Structure 1
């Protein structure tokens, strides 16, 4: 039979448990947790905006290469394509669509990084519970899963912005349909093509984001852990990596992720252009203009009319873009969190 003292102790333990759940780990009040969440979201948003603006010209060229008509080739490569844009559209042409891109990527990046932190923490807790090892750490495969969850959540939340960003980026002075801006494009697509049109290409995006974002986080975090643990050539000091080394880790992660997922990005972009009045001259593969009934049909027609290599159109400028973009995003995120005083990094 339990003594009165045991009953009191048990009640106090239960109260402590409830209090811990309410206040969060370490007894932090809800306001502290909310501030930490906001700081994390701000860091992710800044990272996305800075990284994408830095490579905006290459981003636009990649999309133009992905959707151009093979019977009317204007862009033959990275250098020639950038020169052509500069010659025909000037400085503003180099950054066309970047405002829309940032309006999409800032919330996308904020949600992505925050979702990864939450997903990785949840997966780690379940993993430790399953294995019974409180010291267990995330494996590369578990990081891949956390990254995939984060990518799907972030992409789905901001997908309509990605669709109109692609159309604004492809739009030229000769395009019959002229969108005046982000909100005009959103309202026009909704009015003329219906609500479902705002999510054209969503399926290949979901499938593509799993290896892309998943591998980005998994490779970046795993590579950092390996360098800290093995310290090859004395590259890590006191469990910390230099900015240059972290940039290299981010570059490796971005290169691997985008190479695996790139064909799905091409198909997504072509599906997004379908149904756009006057867009056939841009996206047609046989000179007559094509409509896609779905992801598989888009793959089939692209390969049939243009060959397997068409699935990698724009890969070179995208590779040149991805190396600094992903690297800058990861490092910017960690640096902004340091400046804002957020205790937990994605590695933790």
Structure 2
């Protein structure tokens, strides 16, 4: 009986033991599975969204940002060049506006010889008859032209330098340096030429007998002379801007390069930049001045109808000036005034451009750093 009674106990013991073993195995398996998951770093339920969503999101973000970063940098560079060039041109032309108006008035007349004394008399008479603001007459047309002109010119110069690979990797490509400046001048002059003609018309007339506003210049020319008149003298201007812009940019960039090699600094101070710009302006004005005379005569032909002067083509204008006024008093009439105003204007323009551009680049870097933080 005792043995019989012991059998159920054995069975119960075996069953209990099996149950415990099964429970232990289940617990161990669960524990082992948890340990394996912990060894991998995350549980399956937590790992899945982290590995499937976050990396995809990150890759999408990187993919979205990667192509836009170089493009954004290029856009920033162009905008900085446009703003710097516009400010530089506006400041330079405003400073020398009275001298510029004086020079144009002597350029278009063949009955009055130019001299420094005569130019001072002209400035005094203008001030006495029309007031001090008359010395800046036509400056609104100048600003309407020079702001886009200078902005386009400096920006185009940066782009032409990049396209032509000027002085890339420390090389000394003087020919390309000159070509980049010439192409920049052609680009800006072509896009703003009618404004240059309007500015010349306003500079050689007074507010009573001439044009009262810039809009009136365009309306009267369009109605009375035809739209093609807005581009009269264009080819003389283009031929003149090739040596002018090419020589100006070439001289300035070459002087900066020589300065860098001598001093070891690629950022000359403001006075040095002014001096380099002045030298560039003098060289550029001298190289292109005869064609500047031609374009002014052609632009203002209808203004001087009382004198019966007609300048329909470049060759006829050159021949007429040579026959009636000679080389010195014709082709280089008013050049001494240009030697005063030209270096001042170009010096201010180049140095202001470099200064504002450096300031805007620094401001842009500060903004990017603040956005990262």
- TM-score range relative to shorter protein: 0.7 to 0.9
What is the number of residues matched between the two proteins? 300
SS at 2:131 equivalent:
helix
Q: What does residue range 197-212 of structure 1 map to in structure 2 within 5 Å?
A: 197-212=229-244
Q: Which residue of 2 aligns with 1:307?
A: 326
Q: Does structure 1 residue 179 correspond to structure 2 residue 211? A: yes
Give the superposition deviation at 1:193.
Answer: 1.1
Matched, 1:280 2:280: no
Say whether the 8 Å CA contact 2:149–2:192 is kept in structure 1.
Answer: yes
Q: Report what 2:343 is aligned to.
A: 323
| Larger RCO, structure (CA 8 Å, separation 6 or more) | 1
Matched, 1:242 2:269: yes
User: TM-score w.r.t. structure 2 length?
Assistant: 0.75
**Bigger radius of gyration, 1 or 2?**
2
CA distance in 2, matches of 1:71, 1:224: 40
Q: Give CA deviations for 1:11-51 in whole Å, capped at 9, x if unaligned.
A: xxxxxxxx9xx94xxx7343343233122101100000000
Q: CA deviation at 1:334?
A: 1.0
Q: Which residue number corresponds to residue 291 of structure 1?
A: 310
CA separation of 1:83 and 1:275: change in aligned 2, threshold 3 A: closer
Instruction: List aligned pairs for 1:141-156, cutoff 5 A.
Output: 141-156=175-190
Matched, 1:269 2:296: yes
RMSD: 2.5
Equivalences for residues 251-270 of structure 1 within 5 A: 251-270=278-297
2:227: which partner in 1?
195
TM-score w.r.t. the length of structure 1 is: 0.80
Query: Which residue number in structure 2 is paired with residue 167 of structure 1?
Result: 201
State the Cα distance separating 1:248 from its structure 2 match.
Answer: 0.5
Question: Which stretch shows the higher mean deviation, 197-206 or 30-39?
Answer: 30-39
Change (3 A) 1:138 1:182: farther
Summarize the Cα distance change of 1:243–1:72 in structure 2 as closer, same or farther, 3 Å threshold: closer
User: Are residues 74 and 245 of structure 1, via their aligned partners in 2, closer, same or farther at CA, if it must alter by over 3 Å?
Assistant: closer
Unaligned runs of at least 5 residues, structure 1: 1-18, 129-134, 232-236
For structure 2, the residue ranges without an aligned partner over 5 or more in a row are 1-62, 365-373
- Structure 1 residue 221 corresponds to structure 2 residue 265: no
Give, in whole Å, the separation in 2 of the partners of 1:74 and 1:243. 32
The one of 128, 140, 153 equivalent to 2:174 is 140
Following superposition, the deviation at residue 188 of structure 1 comes to 1.4
